[in-house]
Amino acid sequence: MPDVQQPSNLTRLDAFWMPFSANRDFKQSPRLITEAQGLHYTLDNGQKVLDAISGLWCSSLGHGNKEIAQAVYEQIGKLDYSPSYQISHELPFKLSERLLSYLPDSFGQTFFVNSGSEAAETAMKMALAYQQLRGKKDKVCLIGREMGYHGAGFGAISVGGIPNNTRYCPNLLQHVDKLPAVSSKFKFHKGEQPEDKSQADALLALIDKHSADTIAAVIVEPLCCSAGVLVPPAGSLKRLRSICDEHDILLIVDEVITAMGRLGHPFSSLDRYGVVPDIIITAKSLANGVIPMGAVFTQRKIYDAFLNSSETLVDFFHGYTFSANPAACAAVNAVLDIYERDGLFYRVQELEVYWQDAIHSLKGLPFVEDIRNLGLTGAIQITPDPNAISGSRTLRLFRACLEAGVMARANGEVLALCPPLIIEKEDIDRIVEVLAEQLQKLQ
């Protein structure tokens, strides 16, 4: 491709290599965010834009929340940083107890990280180590899912199944296999697909292939958001739990996006699907995107295995410089205060049907191949442009919606939606109105 010619006054934009972005395209026609308040961003041209993707699936309380900002400010003034290696501070201990109160009693520990990627890496290392510590030396295999997404680290892309994420990484983890991608026989299906255990039963074929004696853990998302809001059939997660129990395999559930009220509960695996995983990971909305923060929640048996069976003084050789950062802990506490006071863990239950009907009203518009939704998430599958690079038409739709005042997320051939939990019905109407207008104009 020819080199992008940039105006001299935009040369400064070359310094920042934007993640998961079409850098050449952006820098030809940049748009910068300057402010954020409530449901809206302000662009550098002064335009107000309704945030229909919660920043990046993470700002579920909207933006500019003064309670969170004040909590972070006060904490930085009191204790800005503390290590958590061999010494720590009070906040992560109290915050762990608070978060664990949303989980069954069998969960006993929280391990703090800084992102969903780090949470996934941590959970997989815990699972592998747990099996070794209990004498299951052959249990070294990890099972993910095609089109699954668990972050950008080497472990995560090894068990994940989005092809472009491994395009230039020929050396990945050994001893990994994948369940088939979530698939649907029904286009434009509203909400969860009808019960179909066959997709979960694919795990039985992998057990026959590798032997249960070699499989340490299965890691899946309840809803495959990054792959385009792929909605598994009803009963799928519960069936996976049953198979894992039967064959002594740990189940790791990635709730980086689906926790914190996104599907109408604090943790969707427990309350929406009736499944108790061995390990749950989350991040994204945990601190509302204000400060990087993630968490790994483990059943007590896992922590106990490390403490009782480790042959070294340090029981788990793993952690991060910024694990349990004081300001991040303060942000999470403020976020939880707001969720609990305003009933936001459960607000999606009031909005889900309205949201579902609204986005499915786009059926029949140009280039709309499918529409999927669950909780307060949605995806519009766009017909590819045969004369351009994959994803080009969706990127054009993203830009057109932005110009018209709504920010979604262009993700391959999918326009993804995930508005803040504080949204009102008239805001949903505005999102759908803009999408309809721009789909009608799309080429």
Question: CA geometry: angle at 230 spanning 229 and 234, to 5°?
Answer: 120
First to last CA, the chain: 22
Domains 31-60+345-441 and 69-342 share a fold: no
Q: Which two tokens stand for residue 389?
A: 């690079």
Give, in words, the CATH class of 69-342.
alpha beta
pTM: 0.95
The count of other CB atoms within 10 Å of the CB of residue 17 is: 7
Q: Following DSSP, what letter does each residue of 269-327 receive, concatenated?
A: HHHTT----SEEEE-GGGGTTSS--EEEEEEHHHHHHHHHH--SSSS-----TTTT-HH
**CA-CA-CA-CA torsion sign (160, 128, 243, 274):** negative
Q: What are phi and psi of 58, to 5 degrees?
A: -125, -25
Beta strand 141-145 with 215-220 is parallel
Q: Which helix (H) or strand (E) holds 340?
A: helix 326-342
Find, among 245, 319, 330, the residue nearest to 286 by Cα: 330
Instruction: Per-residue pLDDT tens, the chain, 443 aa: give them.
Output: 334 444 445 457 888 999 999 898 888 889 999 999 999 999 999 999 999 999 999 999 999 999 999 999 999 999 999 999 999 999 999 999 999 999 999 999 999 999 999 999 999 999 999 999 999 999 999 999 999 999 999 999 999 999 999 999 988 999 999 999 998 888 999 999 999 888 999 999 999 999 999 999 999 999 999 999 999 999 999 999 999 999 999 999 999 999 999 999 999 999 999 999 999 999 999 999 999 999 999 999 999 999 999 899 999 999 999 999 999 999 999 999 999 999 999 999 999 999 999 999 999 999 999 999 999 999 999 999 999 999 999 999 999 999 999 999 999 999 999 999 999 999 999 999 999 999 999 99
Q: Which CATH architecture has domain 31-60+345-441?
A: Alpha-Beta Complex (3.90)
Distances (CA, A) of 146 to 93, 117, 225, 230, 436: 36, 17, 13, 11, 31
Q: Where are the domains of the chain?
A: 31-60+345-441, 69-342
Residue 235 CA to residue 233 CA, distance in Å, equals 6
Residue 260 CA to residue 282 CA, distance in Å, equals 9
Q: Which two tokens stand for residue 175?
A: 């001893």
Residue 107 CA to residue 366 CA, distance in Å, equals 48
